[in-house]
């Protein structure tokens, strides 16, 4: 009687040990790079208390549903808006301005405000909107 021994042929590779080695190497790499990026300790110079490179404060023009115009939180007419924005523009040439108009306001009122901003040659202008929720 002859006993036949069957030899199993493996046609796939067990990659688990390779992955273990790869994870260990990745972990060592992460630890070593964070340990070497400590930097050099230096004594930084002190700056003056007045910021020299500060950004200009953005001016907000709001238009309510009844057509009232506000500069920041103060109610103004179109003439007052032009005068005050002109003063701010003289102090800060690249004055940023945002226009927040109610959705129900008449389009003509928004155009009048945009005309004032255009006459003053304010180039940094933003129109505030809400994100459309679907």
pLDDT over 80 at 111, yes or no: yes
Q: Output the pLDDT for position 40.
A: 46
What average pLDDT score do residues 6-33 get? 84
Q: Whole-angstrom Cα distance, residue 56 to residue 117? A: 17
Q: Whole-angstrom Cα distance, residue 56 to residue 51? A: 11
Q: Whole-angstrom Cα distance, residue 55 to residue 96? A: 10
Greatest Cα-to-Cα distance within the chain, rounded to the nearest angstrom: 114
Q: Output the pLDDT for position 20.
A: 92
| Helix ranges restricted to H, 1-134 | 16-36, 78-91, 107-119
pLDDT in tens, 29-62: 888 777 665 544 555 556 555 555 555 688 888 8
Contact 98, 132 (CB under 8 A): no
Strand partners, 70: 62, 75
Q: Output the pLDDT for position 80.
A: 92
What average pLDDT score do residues 88-104 get? 86
Q: What is the DSSP-derived secondary structure letter of residue 52?
A: S
Contact 89, 120 (CB under 8 A): yes
Which domains can be identified in the chain, with CATH numbers? 59-127 (3.30.420.270)
Q: What percent of the chain has pLDDT over 70?
A: 75
The residue among 4 and 70 whose pLDDT is bigger is 70
């Amino acid at each position: 009687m002859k006993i036949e021994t069957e030899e199993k042929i493996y046609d796939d590779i067990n990659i688990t040990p390779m992955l273990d080695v790869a994870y260990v190497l990745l972990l060592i790499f992460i630890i070593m790079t964070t340990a070497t990026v400590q930097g050099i300790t230096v004594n930084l110079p002190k700056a003056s208390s007045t910021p020299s490179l500060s950004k200009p404060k953005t001016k907000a023009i709001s238009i309510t549903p009844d057509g009232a115009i506000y500069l920041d939180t103060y109610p103004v007419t179109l003439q007052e808006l032009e005068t005050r924005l002109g003063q701010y523009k003289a102090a800060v040439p690249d004055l940023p301005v945002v226009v927040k108009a109610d959705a129900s306001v008449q389009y003509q009122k928004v155009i009048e405000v945009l005309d004032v901003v255009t006459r003053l040659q304010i180039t940094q202008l933003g129109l505030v909107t809400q994100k459309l929720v679907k």
